[in-house]
Amino acid sequence: MPVLFSAALSTRLRTLPQRWTWWLVVCALWLAGCAQPVTKAPLDEDSWSGRIALQIDGQASQSFSALFELRGTPQAGGLVLLSPFGNRIAQLDWKDGHAQLISGQDTRTSDSLDALLQDVTGARLPVTALFSWLKGIQVSATGWQADLSGIANGRVTARRSDPEPTATLRIALTP
């Protein structure tokens, strides 16, 4: 009896790796089928990602910070704001003078990207200048002064002095 038992056990042990291999292949194919394709920005489209922080001074000082992914141009593009855990806080998309904000279950549209961005961050941000600043190009924006001395390290700081209250925008790009 022990001989039969050991022969049967030996046969099972030899087929076990084949069964595991088959199941691993099936699981790998199943996971590959669930994968989402990575969409990259077209080669002629600019894109940045990193951290953004906005501090608004005054009696009731406010602050806003998030991870971000920005793509496109001031005329057409998108901005995704993410929590530190990677959850989407808001998504802004704009094109041809039309902007859309998706935040949670709410969707809002406007002719003004600036107005929707202000709803999310709490302050008007100079969107056109922001794209230039991220490229390391110093341009003026009414009320804002940008410090691009850290752009080589992926850092941009801009300060708004007018209108009151003052505000400071800090951006740290990820490599």
Give 47-71 pLDDT, tens digit per residue: 999 999 999 987 667 888 999 999 9
pTM equals 0.71
- Sign of the dihedral defined by the CA atoms of residues 119, 124, 40, 111, in that order: positive
Rounded distance between C-alpha atoms, residue 93 and residue 113, angstroms: 8
Q: Does domain 47-173 have CATH number 2.50.20.10?
A: yes
Residue 7 pLDDT? 55
- Answer whether 120's CB lies under 8 Å from 92's CB: yes
User: What are φ and ψ of residue 28, in 5° steps?
Assistant: -65, -40
Question: E strand or H helix at 150, and its extent?
Answer: none
**Nearest Cα to Cα of residue 133 among 53, 78, 74:** 74
Continuous H helices in the chain: 2-34, 113-121, 127-134
Residue 131 pLDDT exceeds 70 = yes
Q: Which amino acid is at 98?
A: H
Residue 158 DSSP SS3: strand
List pLDDT tens digits, range 99-120: 999 988 899 999 988 889 888 8
Rounded distance between C-alpha atoms, residue 116 and residue 109, angstroms: 8
